[in-house]
């Protein structure tokens, strides 16, 4: 038997999974901390999910906070 709910979500573009590797914030994190400091999780939320190594957690959080504040003041 085929699960219709699974079939519908698999075919609906709104439910497609994205890896967010082309997201600008991912590029900024990679430039700042290096490609091995975190892992990007593919999601269906439309929001990048990043798993950060423990030793990079505070630095990554600080960087994201400062970046958000800079962008907020630029608007």
Q: What is the pTM of this model?
A: 0.65
Q: Of residues 15 and 37, which shows the higher confidence score?
A: 37
In the predicted structure, residue 61 carries a pLDDT above the cut 60: yes
Please give the radius of gyration of the chain, using alpha carbons only, rounded to the nearest integer: 16
Query: Residue 59: what pLDDT?
Result: 93
Mean pLDDT for the chain overall: 81
Of residues 7 and 75, which shows the higher confidence score? 75
Distance between CA atoms of 74 and 54, rounded to whole angstroms? 31
Q: What is the pLDDT averaged over residues 14-31?
A: 83
Q: If DSSP states are collapsed to H, E and C, what string results for the chain?
A: CCCHHHHHHHHCHHHCCECCCCCHHHHHHHHHHCCCCEEEECECCCCCEEEECHHHHHHHHHHHHHHHHHHHHHC
Higher pLDDT, 7 or 20: 20
């Amino acid at each position: 038997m085929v699960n219709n709910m699974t079939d519908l979500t698999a075919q609906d573009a709104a439910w497609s999974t994205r890896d967010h590797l082309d997201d600008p914030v991912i590029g900024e994190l990679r430039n700042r901390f290096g490609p091995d400091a975190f892992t990007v999780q593919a999601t269906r939320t439309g929001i990048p999910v990043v798993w950060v190594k423990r030793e990079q957690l505070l630095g990554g959080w600080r960087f994201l906070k400062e970046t958000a504040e800079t962008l907020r003041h630029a608007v």
